[in-house]
Structure formats: C-alpha cells, structure tokens
Amino acid sequence: MKRKKFIKLIFLIILIFIIIKIFFLNNFFKTQQNDDILFLKLFSNINSKSNYTISKNKKVKEYRFKISYKNTDFKSIDLSDTIDGQTLVHEKIAPGTTGSFDILLESNQNLKYKIQFNSKSNKPKNLNFKALKGEKVLCESNTLEELSENLMGYINKNEKIIITIKWYWNFESMKDDNTDIQDTMDSENIKKYQFDIYTIGEELN
C-alpha cells in the first residue's frame, strides 16, 4: 500500500515538473519573439529618416532582361535574396526589414517596353514598394502588380535602362508600443515572398 502511494507521489512530482517546464518554455519563446519585434521596431525608428536607402557597401541584386519585339522574358525572384543585410533578423523577411533590386533592360532595336509582376505567394500587408529610374521616383505602391501599371516606356537600340525597385516593411503603427497584430500574424505566416518579373517588347507606333 505504501509502495503504491510512493509511486503515485513520484508520478505526481514528475507530472508537475513537466507542466512547469512546458510553461516556462512557452513563455521563453513568446518573450524571444516579442524581443525580435521590439528590436525591429526600434531599429526601424532609428533608420526611418534614411528613406530606406541601401548601404553603399552592399551590392544591389541585379536582374537582366533582353527586350525584343513580341517577346516576353521572365525571371522568378525570392524577395529574401534582395534584403538589406543591415536590417536582416533571423534570416527572414520581417517588420522593419528593407531591400532593393535592379531591373536592367537591354535591347538591340528601338522598342516600347513594359515591366510586369506576378506574385506567387501571399504578401505581408505592410510590405510596400517604390520604383526609381536614377534618382527619379516613378511610382510607389502597396503591391508589385499595382507598381507595374506605371513601369513602361521606350528603349533605344543598344541602350541600357536600370529600374530600381526598393521595398520596405513598415510596422503597423510606429506609435503603438503594445501590439502590432497584423505584423505579428504576417511574421508568423510568411517564410518567403516569391514573384515573377516579366518584360514585354512592343513595336513603336
């Protein structure tokens, strides 16, 4: 009888120990995640005046396209390949991260061109984009698909045109220190954001 009570006592102690351990581990991971979000928020606030420019020491990712008449060229892109390493945390896209990539257009004839995008995975709500040609801002948008509505123009024979796409993930509310619900949801769900870039050549009128 005493033996059974002793075994029950040992079993109860082990069970309590396991419950306590699970509780502390769960709190640890939650704290770690909150610390990451807090760090990113502070980092983003510090760099908010930089207008999301990329470090001069970082080589911007470049994708080359040949523009030709009635021809569509495309490349599949993973946004994590274009991230600014200074804002990278735990090797993933997250609130506070930024990046950029160049689209280099070349042609052996005078043509009109169009640049289009097609997202292959869900985009975080607060991820935004800006297109530039040199220092000139061509357009800004919340989606790449909307951005492409303004990415068209003319290219001359043997000309090279560089369109820079900058992206930045703002926090839902810089003034809200409690919770960023949307950012937290997107951070947990997204591992990669992938999309295709298409270039289309058209004859001059």
DSSP state of 126: T
CA distances from 205 to 66, 109, 149, 154, 202 (A): 20, 14, 20, 11, 9
* DSSP codes, 52-101: TPPPTTSPPEEEEEEE-BT-EEEEEEEGGGGB-GGG-BTTB--TT-EEEE
- Residue 113 within any structural domain of the chain: yes
- Residue 21 within any structural domain of the chain: no
CA distances from 179 to 60, 79, 121, 122, 142 (A): 33, 26, 25, 22, 22
Strand partners, 73: 199
104, two tokens: 């280099």
- Residue 36 within any structural domain of the chain: no
| Number of domains into which the chain is organized | 1
Q: Is the pTM of this model over 0.85?
A: no
- Residue 38 within any structural domain of the chain: no
The b/e string for 47-58 (b: 16+ C-beta within 10 A; e otherwise) is beeeebebeeee
Q: What is the dihedral sign for C-alpha 187, 190, 192, 194?
A: negative
**CA-wise closest residue to 167 among 89, 107, 80:** 80
Q: Which domain covers residue 185, as residue numbers?
A: 46-202
- Per-residue pLDDT tens digits of the chain, which is 205 residues long: 556 666 667 767 787 778 877 766 665 444 445 444 444 444 444 343 333 333 344 567 899 999 988 888 889 998 888 988 766 555 677 788 889 999 999 999 999 999 999 999 888 888 999 999 998 999 999 999 999 999 999 999 999 999 999 999 876 554 554 445 666 666 655 667 889 999 999 988 7
Q: What amino acid occupies position 119?
A: S
- Residue 3 within any structural domain of the chain: no
Strand partners, 174: none
- Residue 16 within any structural domain of the chain: no
Return the pLDDT at 181: 66
Cα separation, 157 vs 67, in Å, equals 10
The b/e string for 92-102 (b: 16+ C-beta within 10 A; e otherwise) is ebbbbbbbbbe
